[in-house]
Chains A and B, each alone.
Chain A
Amino acid sequence: MIYKTYITILFASILLLSFTSCEEIIDIDLNSSNPSIVIDGDIQPKQNAQVRLSYTNDYFNKENPKYETNATITISNSEGISETLQHISDGLYTSQFMRGDVGQEYTIKVDLNNETFEGKSTMMTPTKILKLSQVKSGTPHQGDKESYGLEMQLTNNPEEDNYYLIKFFKNGALQEERYNAIPQDIFAQDEVIVYSPVLPSFEVGDEVIVKAYSIDESTYTYYSQLAEITSERPGGTTPYNPESNLGPNILGYFRAWSSDSQSITIQTME
């Protein structure tokens, strides 16, 4: 939830301000675990469904993971239309005919070695980023560099129980700098909502691409948990595997979602 982000920032800032902490990359022995199947599937408006099947790998292994190519995957929508996905390459399966449509609930079914995994997700009304601007950041910073936050205006369907996921990509990076999952209880049920996160913050010259995803409740929960275990929080929670919609103790997730993106270059502001 949103206050949690604030509290994390406050804690991190206190540690930062109070003490001379020091970070170091270290070698550490980690056990190997038996490879477990990972299901990473999504469907977007007017696009084919995609599902990647891979296996877990040793933590420090730099090679690509093993992919699963012998599964049977079907997708169906709330109208009862279904299709079996084709394996393309490297564990990636796609639909040929079925494309995403707003308002539909999609179900995928993965049959593998006599086991079946099934998950559902609903495609919510897509959002549009109406405006993206920079604001002076409230977060403390060290040194002389000013830090800036972003403010965005997003279209919202007040009739829906919808959630948003915002990803930030800095300076052409493929990995997001950070993502924020926004629960619906923190924004008003208006047609336009304004969102101004405390984090991430940027410096002058940064080129930032913002992607805003419209997601359902279960996807919000999954991404919130993912954010929690991948963020660095001193003295934080005991880590765990996020709760999949494909069954208990399954790794990965299937989501129906849509996104809009815009970019901004941070400039000096008085």
Chain B
Amino acid sequence: MRITTHSFFLLTLFTCLSFIANAQNKFTISGRVSEADTGEDLIGVTIYTSDQANGTMTNTYGFYSLTLPEGDYQILFSFIGYQTQTISISLTSNQQINVELGNADTKLNEVVVKAEKKDENLSATKMGVEKLDMKDVGKLPVLFGERDVLKTIQLLPGISTVSEGGNGFSVRGGSIDQNLILLDEAPVYSASHLMGFFSVFNPDAIKGMTVYKGGIPANYGGRAASVLDITMRDGNSKNFSASGGIGLISSRLTLEGPIVEDKVSFIVSGRRSYADIAAKSAGIIESGADLYFYDLNAKLNYKINDKNRLFLSGYFGLDDFGFEDMGMNWGNTTGTLRWNHLFSNKLFFNATFIYSNYNYGFNFGDKGSMSSGIKDYGLKLDFTLYANANNTMKFGSDDTYHNFYPGEFLFEENTIPDIKVAKKQALENSIYFTNTQKINSKLTADYGIRLSFFEQLGEGYNTTYNDNNQIIDQEYFAKGKIMQTYFEPEPRVSLNYRMNTKSSVKASYNRMAQYMHMLSNSTSGQPTDTWMPSTSNVRPTTVDQYSIGYFRNFNDNTFKFSIESYYKNMNDITDYKDGTEVMLNEDIESYILQGKGRSYGAEFYLKKKYGKLTGWLSYTLSKTENQIDGINQGNWYNSAYDKTHDISIVASYQLSKRVSLSTNWVYYTGNAVTFPSGKYEFDNNQIPYFTERNGYRMPDYHRLDLNLHLEGKGTKRFNSSWDFSLYNAYNQMNAYSINFRESVDEPGSTEAVKLSLFGIVPSITWNFKF
């Protein structure tokens, strides 16, 4: 049934589009843009005519297509950090032009490089979007010398840190489970190592990423707040190379190269931490203890011919922690197989098979063991039609089958019954269509719709509960039977009005639906978080977001400035009744409370992209509140993700050709938290008395980090560099948590205790490449 809906939809589109595509006396240039040294596809390269009247960009696979009227043109290919190439063509027929761009750093003093098309940020309709190249991430100072993409995006406006060191982040007031994190199109359910202090993304294996916090295009869906789309590198298709680094916490090694030159290439990148080895030798932990993580990224790409390419990529990661016979481990596995196909020079197609698995386990020695997880199988079909110079259309489908394993606890002792929470299954199907249309020289629009269907499938029970969480009715569904369905239309619109050569105004609206809910008793994210589907008792979360922004460039593009403001209505966000046992609770649905939320704010962003001094300044002023019946007497209260002020300053200064200094400073309002407004005596103890949800604030947080990067002299074959970092350079003891307890020394009196995790943390890393 669903298949026929899909086919019909796609067929109709084809028919409509073929009319648009048949324009007269117009020809198409198309091809791929890659890096000259490695053959890596370049994403987001701007391709435009010398008069800047027409232009396009390469997609995730380096492909572009540009249709122009017959005539003579100078076509420019430009990308930040690379030399711009100009190609003169006489367009009298369709042409295929593949371009390789040389790295600007390696060929100094040749040409003055203008890194990208002027005012790119002004002409694109996209707002609430930030692209990060790994070069931007690389020079920033980070904790224990580990570069981390998730830490870097938290320095952008509208994206805030949830807890110190942690990788859980909140986008425009959304909760951490509302972020869709994709690694080569596969969803990553738990993006952290070591309890959230490191992200699972090995920077050496990553090409770049794009984060969408507003105006989210219709080809993405499934989460309510944001999309973080991370692309893995394809591997050097020209030469074998190895790179790596040795740091205090972990070491990493990447091998890449061609298997068949310019046809088949691979990359394998591994990382392992050895905090446990250091801690053992220092006598901090016993020899029986384990504490480490590792991860492995691998990708194979095969250029079958100009029209067909295959990519196979995988990620495997594991954290292991244990002492004596007890322990825990958790990890993600993802895999994607992609097939790129060019139906014509205007129609690009990609099919993706997706596998994603996350699980964690506890081992309690002779007492028992526990495990939980989620597994997805997905198929995505994506078409891009470069219809003409004024219209680029994307359409396709996205189908995912989810298996939820809420968990089981197996007791070693046979006399104790095991706890097994019933598995759940669900199917998520979406179809989408979106068009980017240049309406006139000043106005561009991006409009589309995503239709999402959700089905919870048997085997299982639809259970009806009374107010005391007791079962009053149960209906059984056999395997594969539909237990519950939901449907949401998700319209997405973005407009860009170009006021003049220096400034533009943009506006957008998007609706997002989320059919999966994270079960967690912390706001910051833990490996023990589990997922559940929407059910007959738990409705999907939907969000409507409106935003408007003003963009301006200064000093011939050296500075970019933007102000964006947004308003979000959130429906059916979830929380729990007081005292809810989240883990291994068969009846968790009856403990879930749903209500509404609202978030609004303004984001200021000033970025300097060129020169010796680069970096950005971001400031976000926002408010996020929730109203859920059953919490805070049904009154509105500050969300745990409410941060009034959030400031980041990021700067990098190139002292000489080989030495650069970088720094970042962050300041934000403390999280909204629940503290006691009184105490009482019970059973000879002093018990805190709580009156208001999230009525207090943690102390404001601020921190300065520094990094000195030294590039080795290097030879043609071997390059090395050093990074010296200071995390929390002025040793600010920021509060990780504040606990209230009865004084140990003075029973009967009470005290507040602040726990801080990190003072100043120096680190050193040595990197190499040959």
Q: Which of A3, A173, A240 is close to B362, meaning CB atoms less than 8 Å apart?
A: A3
Asked if A112 lies at the interface with its beta carbon under 8 angstroms from chain B, I say: no
Q: How far apart are B585's CB and chain A's nearest CB, in angstroms?
A: 9
Q: How many A-B residue pairs have CB under 8 A?
A: 216
Per the bound structure, the CA–CA distance linking A58 and B749 in Å amounts to 11
Per the bound structure, the CA–CA distance linking A19 and B756 in Å amounts to 10
Q: Which of B285, B323, B747, B756 is close to A138, meaning CB atoms less than 8 Å apart?
A: B323
Contacts of A237 in B (CB 8 A): 521-522
Per the bound structure, the CA–CA distance linking A62 and B679 in Å amounts to 11
Per the bound structure, the CA–CA distance linking A23 and B739 in Å amounts to 10
Asked if B102 lies at the interface with its beta carbon under 8 angstroms from chain A, I say: no
Asked if A190 lies at the interface with its beta carbon under 8 angstroms from chain B, I say: yes
Asked if A113 lies at the interface with its beta carbon under 8 angstroms from chain B, I say: no
Q: Are A23 and B684 in contact (CB under 8 A)?
A: no
Per the bound structure, the CA–CA distance linking A236 and B673 in Å amounts to 11
Closest Cβ neighbor of A39 among chain B residues: B682
- Contact A17 B324, CB 8 Å, known A6-B362, A235-B522: no
Q: In chain B between 363 and 395, which residues have their CB closer than 8 angstroms to a CB of chain A?
A: 364-365, 367-368, 370
Contacts of B370 in A (CB 8 A): 3
Q: Are B415 and A188 in contact (CB under 8 A)?
A: yes
Chain B: how many interface residues by the 8 Å CB criterion?
Answer: 85
Contacts of B742 in A (CB 8 A): 175
Asked if B524 lies at the interface with its beta carbon under 8 angstroms from chain A, I say: yes
Per the bound structure, the CA–CA distance linking A4 and B586 in Å amounts to 16
Q: Which of A28, A57, A173, A242 is close to B752, meaning CB atoms less than 8 Å apart?
A: A28
Asked if B676 lies at the interface with its beta carbon under 8 angstroms from chain A, I say: yes
Stretch at the interface among A117-125, A200-208, A221-229, A259-267: A221-229
Contacts of A65 in B (CB 8 A): 680-681
Q: Which of A13, A22, A55 is close to B756, meaning CB atoms less than 8 Å apart?
A: A22
Q: Are B581 and A1 in contact (CB under 8 A)?
A: yes
Q: Are B738 and A10 in contact (CB under 8 A)?
A: no
Q: Mark B659-697, 1 if CB is under 8 A from A, else 0.
A: 000000000000000111111111111011111011110
Q: Are A54 and B681 in contact (CB under 8 A)?
A: yes
Q: In chain B between 262 and 304, which residues have their CB closer than 8 angstroms to a CB of chain A?
A: 275, 279, 284-286, 289, 291
Asked if B163 lies at the interface with its beta carbon under 8 angstroms from chain A, I say: yes
**Chain A CB within 10 A, most for which of B286, B362, B524, B755:** B755
Asked if B753 lies at the interface with its beta carbon under 8 angstroms from chain A, I say: yes
Asked if B18 lies at the interface with its beta carbon under 8 angstroms from chain A, I say: no
Closest Cβ neighbor of A226 among chain B residues: B687
Q: Are B284 and A17 in contact (CB under 8 A)?
A: yes
Per the bound structure, the CA–CA distance linking A187 and B415 in Å amounts to 8
Q: Which of A24, A36, A38 is close to B681, meaning CB atoms less than 8 Å apart?
A: A38
Asked if B526 lies at the interface with its beta carbon under 8 angstroms from chain A, I say: yes
Asked if A241 lies at the interface with its beta carbon under 8 angstroms from chain B, I say: yes
Q: In chain B between 178 and 222, which residues have their CB closer than 8 angstroms to a CB of chain A?
A: 194-195, 197
- Contact A25 B275, CB 8 Å, known A30-B677, A33-B689, A252-B682: no
- Contact A59 B323, CB 8 Å, known A19-B758, A40-B683, A230-B685: no
Q: In chain A between 168 and 198, which residues have their CB closer than 8 angstroms to a CB of chain B?
A: 173-176, 185-190
Asked if A21 lies at the interface with its beta carbon under 8 angstroms from chain B, I say: yes
**Chain B CB within 10 A, most for which of A173, A174, A187, A188:** A188
Closest Cβ neighbor of A225 among chain B residues: B579
Q: Are B689 and A25 in contact (CB under 8 A)?
A: no
Q: Mark A108-149, 1 if CB is under 8 A from B, else 0.
A: 000000000000000000000000000000101010000000
Q: Which of B289, B733, B751 is close to A17, meaning CB atoms less than 8 Å apart?
A: B289
Asked if B137 lies at the interface with its beta carbon under 8 angstroms from chain A, I say: no
Closest Cβ neighbor of B291 among chain A residues: A17
Contacts of B736 in A (CB 8 A): 21, 234
Closest Cβ neighbor of A242 among chain B residues: B579
Q: Are B693 and A56 in contact (CB under 8 A)?
A: no
Per the bound structure, the CA–CA distance linking A65 and B749 in Å amounts to 12
Closest Cβ neighbor of A27 among chain B residues: B752
Q: In chain A between 1 and 44, which residues have their CB closer than 8 angstroms to a CB of chain B?
A: 1, 3-4, 6-7, 10-11, 13-15, 17-28, 30-33, 35-36, 38, 40
Q: How far apart are A190's CB and chain B's nearest CB, in angstroms?
A: 7
- Contact A30 B747, CB 8 Å, known A19-B757, A228-B579: no
Q: Are B291 and A243 in contact (CB under 8 A)?
A: no
**Chain A CB within 10 A, most for which of B523, B526, B678:** B678
Q: Are B752 and A40 in contact (CB under 8 A)?
A: no
Contacts of A226 in B (CB 8 A): 682, 687
Q: Are A56 and B579 in contact (CB under 8 A)?
A: no
Q: Are A23 and B753 in contact (CB under 8 A)?
A: yes
Closest Cβ neighbor of A243 among chain B residues: B579
Contacts of B685 in A (CB 8 A): 175-176, 230
Asked if B351 lies at the interface with its beta carbon under 8 angstroms from chain A, I say: no
Q: Which of B195, B289, B583, B640 is close to A4, meaning CB atoms less than 8 Å apart?
A: B583
Contacts of A173 in B (CB 8 A): 747
Q: Which of B411, B523, B678, B751 is close to A57, meaning CB atoms less than 8 Å apart?
A: B678
Q: Are A235 and B737 in contact (CB under 8 A)?
A: yes
Q: How far apart are B669's CB and chain A's nearest CB, in angstroms?
A: 16
Q: Mark B714-746, 1 if CB is under 8 A from A, else 0.
A: 000000000000000000010011111110000
Q: Are A33 and B194 in contact (CB under 8 A)?
A: no
Asked if B129 lies at the interface with its beta carbon under 8 angstroms from chain A, I say: no
Q: Which of A19, A174, A189 is close to B747, meaning CB atoms less than 8 Å apart?
A: A174
Q: Which of A10, A19, A55, A61 is close to B321, meaning CB atoms less than 8 Å apart?
A: A10
- Contact A54 B194, CB 8 Å, known A22-B756, A235-B737: no
Asked if B413 lies at the interface with its beta carbon under 8 angstroms from chain A, I say: yes
Contacts of B747 in A (CB 8 A): 173-175
Contacts of B684 in A (CB 8 A): 174-175
Asked if A210 lies at the interface with its beta carbon under 8 angstroms from chain B, I say: no
Closest Cβ neighbor of A175 among chain B residues: B747
Q: How far apart are A122's CB and chain B's nearest CB, in angstroms?
A: 18
Q: How far apart are B167's CB and chain A's nearest CB, in angstroms?
A: 13
Asked if B409 lies at the interface with its beta carbon under 8 angstroms from chain A, I say: yes
Q: How far apart are A145's CB and chain B's nearest CB, in angstroms?
A: 13
- Contact A235 B526, CB 8 Å, known A15-B195, A185-B417: yes
Per the bound structure, the CA–CA distance linking A27 and B740 in Å amounts to 11
Q: Which of B321, B419, B677, B680 is close to A31, meaning CB atoms less than 8 Å apart?
A: B677
7 A-B pairs with the lowest CB-CB distances in the bound complex, closest first:
A240-B578, A188-B415, A33-B677, A56-B678, A38-B680, A232-B739, A235-B522
Residue contacts A-B, CB under 8 angstroms, 30 given:
A3-B362, A3-B583, A6-B326, A11-B526, A20-B759, A21-B736, A21-B757, A22-B759, A25-B754, A26-B752, A30-B676, A30-B696, A54-B680, A56-B679, A57-B679, A59-B676, A65-B681, A138-B323, A138-B365, A140-B285, A140-B286, A140-B323, A174-B747, A188-B415, A188-B416, A228-B579, A234-B736, A235-B526, A239-B674, A252-B682
In addition to A1-B584, A31-B691, A242-B579, 10 A-B residue pairs with Cβ atoms within 8 Å of each other are A6-B326, A21-B756, A31-B677, A31-B695, A58-B678, A138-B325, A174-B747, A176-B685, A225-B579, A238-B640
